[in-house]
Amino acid sequence: MCEGLVRFEEGSSKVIPALAESEPEISADGTRWKFRLRRGVTFHDGTPLTAEAVRFSFMRQMDPTHPYYVAGRMTAARRLFGDPTTTESVIVRDIETPDDWTVVFVLAQPRASFARNLAVPQAAIVSPRAVMNAAADGQTTMVGTGPFRVAGVRPGRSIVLERNPQYWGEPPRIESVELRMISEAVERERALRQQQCDVAAGLPPQTLAKLARSKEFMVTTAPGMTGCVLLLNHAVPPLDSARVRRGIALAIGREKLMRDLLLEYADAGYGWLPPAMVEAAHPDAQSENFGDVNEAKRLFAEAGVPGGFTVKLMALTVPRVYNPAGAAVAEKVAQDLTACGLTVILERVPLEVASRRVAEGDYQMAVWGAVAWNGDPSAYWADLFGDGQTNALNYRSGELHALLRQLETEIGEPQRKATCAHIEKLLHAEIPCVPLFYARQAVVARREVRIEHLNVMGLTRLDKVGIVREE
């Protein structure tokens, strides 16, 4: 429906032009990003795409004084772009429109991840006229420039999209699509089997494996941008010992975890970044012998706890995007640690309770998740380590703090890859937490539906989906 100036390349976290006709021109100091717009592009309501429309789409989300700002509904965008009315954590200081086809973002400081910020859904460009009309008559603001346009909405139930005949790019392969909201995985599977839908996502690994064996369905997978990690609270001895943390990391058998619970729908947590990230280095961790009980016991003994220790492990009661196997992962971790002499007390808690306790540091160990919400390593690591000084792990590292700041302001892929490799080596040495696995995206479709590939950010392009009817 809606598109941004840039988008993620299929199968990668790399950013490529969309409504912008080319890569941005970035000033020498990294604070001015100039984009030139494609000519002749129109919104679904027939109004033209202009630089002022781009500015409108961003400012109405960033600026609480904007006439079309909606309080309480713009928090994600303000994290991406900041608030130009304050000097606190500002990212975008201003947006200039020197002519109808040129947009210049003026940043408060260099920010390497800014291009990826512009590729997420919150950066989509919408029709100013549609937003103004929606404020008056309550109609949808989902009026963009994309290959599909909104044909009907049933709030909380479904959205019907139809092909946009005026689309500036390659036309969609299908004429229309209905997006249905089905909250329970078992109901999504039932709808698929009863031919009430053609495609379903968010199914557990065991269901995916079962459907993959059927001649009726095809499962398409791709790496994702979420990681399942074992949080270790450094404020709780002996988890403040690097030897103990390394012993815990070695005690957990990654391959068995994959084989028994995640099947083929996750990548083992050898490195410190989702494998789909172009900056992922995956250093020495791959050579470790995970599941090595004897080495784990040796490290515990060196740390002064030869007989093991008692620790509480918090687990969510429901599966999450980063952990489709749910509480079973924590149970498997507990089994592996018990085999090394630890006494593990498993705490099963609902999401809202777990979120509060992790934020307050009221836990010892927890099976948790991290998300690269913009496909950038700085965002993923910020989810885990904050700024390197303040985080839920109670992990303090001046070196990590400096490296994360360097990564955020560094412009240029080779330089950022080198910095990421440095950070991964530091994390591998200190083991502030334990990467368990990186969940893969998985979509099940009926055999006649053709899904070429999934976007690593979960933003699969529906215009690339096709239908093949048997003769």
Residue 143 lies in a domain: no
Residue 49 lies in a domain: yes
Residue 187 lies in a domain: yes
pLDDT for res 115: 92
Sign of CA dihedral 214, 217, 218, 224: negative
Q: Looking at residue 294, which CATH number applies to its domain?
A: 3.10.105.10
pLDDT for res 471: 44
d(CA 48, CA 103): 15
* Residues 343 and 294 both lie in one domain: yes
Q: Across-strand partners of 200? A: 444
d(CA 456, CA 241): 35
Residue 109 lies in a domain: yes
Question: Tokens representing 59?
Answer: 């400012």
pLDDT for res 286: 54
* Residues 216 and 365 both lie in one domain: no
pLDDT for res 412: 80
d(CA 238, CA 342): 12
pLDDT for res 410: 85
Q: Which of 372, 339, 328, 44 is nearest to 225 (CA)?
A: 372
Residue 406 lies in a domain: yes
d(CA 416, CA 421): 9
CB contact set of 172 (below 8 Å; sequence gap of 6+):
147, 148, 163, 164, 462, 463
Q: What is the pLDDT of the chain when averaged over all its residues?
A: 89
Domain range for 241 is 226-439
pLDDT for res 119: 92
Residue 259 lies in a domain: yes
**Angle in degrees, CA 198, 325, 271, rounded to 5:** 105
Counting Cβ atoms within 10 Å, is residue 45 exposed (0-12), middle (13-18) or buried (19+)? middle
* Residues 284 and 426 both lie in one domain: yes
Identify the residue whose tokens are 């790399």.
14
The total number of structural domains in the chain stands at 3
What's the count of helices (H) and strands (E) in the chain, helices before strands? 14, 20
- In order along its 471 residues, the chain shows pLDDT tens digits of 899 999 988 877 889 999 999 999 999 999 999 999 999 999 999 999 999 999 999 998 888 888 888 776 667 777 788 776 666 667 898 999 999 999 999 998 899 899 999 998 889 999 999 988 886 655 566 899 999 998 888 888 888 999 999 999 988 888 898 899 998 899 999 999 999 999 999 899 999 999 999 999 999 888 889 999 999 999 999 999 999 999 999 999 988 899 999 988 999 998 899 988 888 865 554 556 677 899 999 999 999 999 899 999 999 988 999 999 999 999 999 999 999 999 999 999 999 999 999 999 999 999 999 998 888 999 899 889 987 666 899 999 999 999 999 998 888 888 999 999 999 999 999 999 999 999 998 999 998 888 877 877 776 777 777 766 554
Find out whether 383 and 322 touch, Cβ atoms under 8 Å: no
Residue 1 lies in a domain: no
**Residue 347 φ/ψ region, left for φ over 0, alpha for ψ in the -120 to 50 degree band, beta for the rest:** beta
* Residues 219 and 234 both lie in one domain: no
Q: Given 94, 109, 137, which residue is the final one in a domain?
A: 137
Question: Tokens representing 441?
Answer: 């995206």
Residue 142 lies in a domain: no
* Residues 427 and 454 both lie in one domain: no
pLDDT for res 272: 93
CB contact set of 245 (below 8 Å; sequence gap of 6+):
232, 239, 430, 431, 432, 434
CA dist list (Å): 319 to 265, 322, 441: 14, 8, 14
pLDDT tens, residue by residue, 33-56: 999 999 999 999 999 999 999 999
Q: Given 114, 137, 160, which residue is the final one in a domain?
A: 137
* Residues 269 and 160 both lie in one domain: no
d(CA 317, CA 327): 6
Angle between helix axes 293-302 and 242-251 (nearest 10 degrees) is 170
d(CA 384, CA 322): 14
Residue type at 62? Answer: M
**Angle in degrees, CA 258, 299, 346, rounded to 5:** 50
Question: Tokens representing 39?
Answer: 């000519």
pLDDT for res 87: 65
pLDDT for res 133: 86
* Residues 112 and 16 both lie in one domain: yes
Q: Looking at residue 455, which CATH number applies to its domain?
A: 3.40.190.10
Report phi then psi at 361, rounded to 5: 75, 20
Three-class SS string for 47-112? CECCHHHHHHHHHHHHCCCCCCCCCCCCHHHHHHHCCCCCCCCCCEEEEEEEECCEEEEEECCCCC
Sign of CA dihedral 149, 154, 155, 159: negative
pTM: 0.89
CB contact set of 301 (below 8 Å; sequence gap of 6+):
none
* Residues 35 and 177 both lie in one domain: no
* Residues 434 and 310 both lie in one domain: yes
* Residues 288 and 433 both lie in one domain: yes
Question: Tokens representing 49?
Answer: 């795409």
d(CA 297, CA 215): 47
d(CA 134, CA 150): 14
Counting Cβ atoms within 10 Å, is residue 210 exposed (0-12), middle (13-18) or buried (19+)? middle
Q: Which residues of 77-103 are buried (b: 16+ CB within 10 A; e: fewer)?
A: bbbbbbbbeeeeebbbeebebeeeeeb
Q: Given 100, 117, 137, which residue is the final one in a domain?
A: 137
pLDDT tens, residue by residue, 245-293: 999 999 999 888 999 999 889 999 988 999 888 888 655 545 566 778 9
* Residues 205 and 330 both lie in one domain: no
d(CA 258, CA 175): 39
* Residues 460 and 420 both lie in one domain: no
